Amino acid sequence: MIVAVAQQRIVEDVEVNKMKALSLVKRAIQHEAKIVVLPEASNTGLFPENFGKVRSLEEELDLILKLSERKDILVIAGVVERSEGNLFNSVALIYRGEVIGKYSKILLFPLNEERKYLTAGKELKVFETDFGKIGVLVCYEVRFPEMARKLMKMGAEILAVPAEFPAERIEHWRTLLRARAIENQFYVLGANCVSPDGFYGGNSMIVDPMGNVVNEAGNLQEIIIGEVNLEYVRRVREEYPFLKDLDSIP
């Protein structure tokens, strides 16, 4: 199965961001990808000045929803959305013109203004899709192995990580993605963004269940492609049955 990770160049202009996201999804379709992951807050970026005009999930993702109606691709898109009067840093799973699942970021980042403007989610989720069982974490949350481990125990075969991870800590990002893959023996699709000022570092990655980097982006807007084989997840877990020893931990 071909998958794509879209490393979007996020700017302050919301309409420009939406068009960039749409263009990257179109490129993933051209590569015959079955899954494409967009970065965190792909519509607004984490610019508080954009939050006042944020609308519902479906309104924020209207272009991608329309594009996906007749396409056989699962879009996993980071999006700031308004729901019941509150703003959430969410990730939507879109298939055939519909939102088939949503996860809202639980751990809001303490070093910017996320906690001032956004409401935290409350529930980890694994989504059963035609392309595998997919868990989602957002950016900062990849630092917490407990969250990824719980998603694995819930059945995840793939972990998607939309992010806006800064360049100054990009080696943390690269190490954490590989660590989460190795610890849980699943694929990790990490979609970081880039920015005109170089603050966000890129290096989006596709990592296999053994921690091998299948593909990695640089520091410009681009799309990376890789192969995901869910049978390989099962085979790795059988040949290296380390996860079974979790039950032996006192």
Q: pLDDT per residue over 154-179, tens digit each?
A: 999 999 999 999 999 999 999 999 99
The 3-state DSSP class for residue 239 equals: helix
Confidence (pTM): 0.97
In a domain, 105, yes or no: yes
In a domain, 248, yes or no: no
Number of domains into which the chain is organized: 1
97: containing domain: 2-240
Helices (H) and strands (E) in the chain, counts: 8, 12
pLDDT for res 122: 96
- Of 18, 20, 105, 133, the catalytic one is 105
In a domain, 153, yes or no: yes
Answer yes or no: are the C-beta atoms of 158 and 133 closer than 8 Å.
yes
Classify each residue of 150-178 as buried b or exposed e, where b means 16 or more C-beta atoms within 10 Å of its C-beta: ebbeeebbbbbbbbbbbbeebeebbebbb
Residue 183: closest CA among 159, 216, 217 = 159
- Of 18, 20, 139, 216, the catalytic one is 139
User: pLDDT tens string for the chain (250 positions)?
Assistant: 999 999 999 999 999 999 999 999 999 999 999 999 999 999 999 999 999 999 999 999 999 999 999 999 999 999 999 999 999 999 999 999 999 999 999 999 999 989 999 999 999 999 999 999 999 999 999 999 999 999 999 999 999 999 999 999 999 999 999 999 999 999 999 999 999 999 999 999 999 999 999 999 999 999 999 999 999 999 999 999 999 999 899 8
In a domain, 125, yes or no: yes
105 catalytically annotated: yes
In a domain, 245, yes or no: no
Answer yes or no: are the C-beta atoms of 4 and 229 closer than 8 Å.
no
Please list, in sequence order, all residues whose beta carbon lies within 8 angstroms of the beta carbon of residue 159, skipping any fewer than 6 positions away: 134, 135, 136, 137, 148, 151, 180, 181, 184, 186, 187, 188, 189
Answer yes or no: are the C-beta atoms of 225 and 35 closer than 8 Å.
no
Which CATH number characterizes residue 105's domain?
3.60.110.10
pLDDT for res 167: 97
193 catalytically annotated: no
- Of 18, 20, 40, 193, the catalytic one is 40
pLDDT for res 130: 95
* Residue length of the chain: 250
In a domain, 31, yes or no: yes
In a domain, 134, yes or no: yes
67-107 pLDDT per residue, tens: 999 999 999 999 999 999 999 999 999 999 999 999 999 99
In a domain, 249, yes or no: no
Distance CA 81, CA 103 (A): 11
The 3-state DSSP class for residue 166 equals: strand
139 catalytically annotated: yes
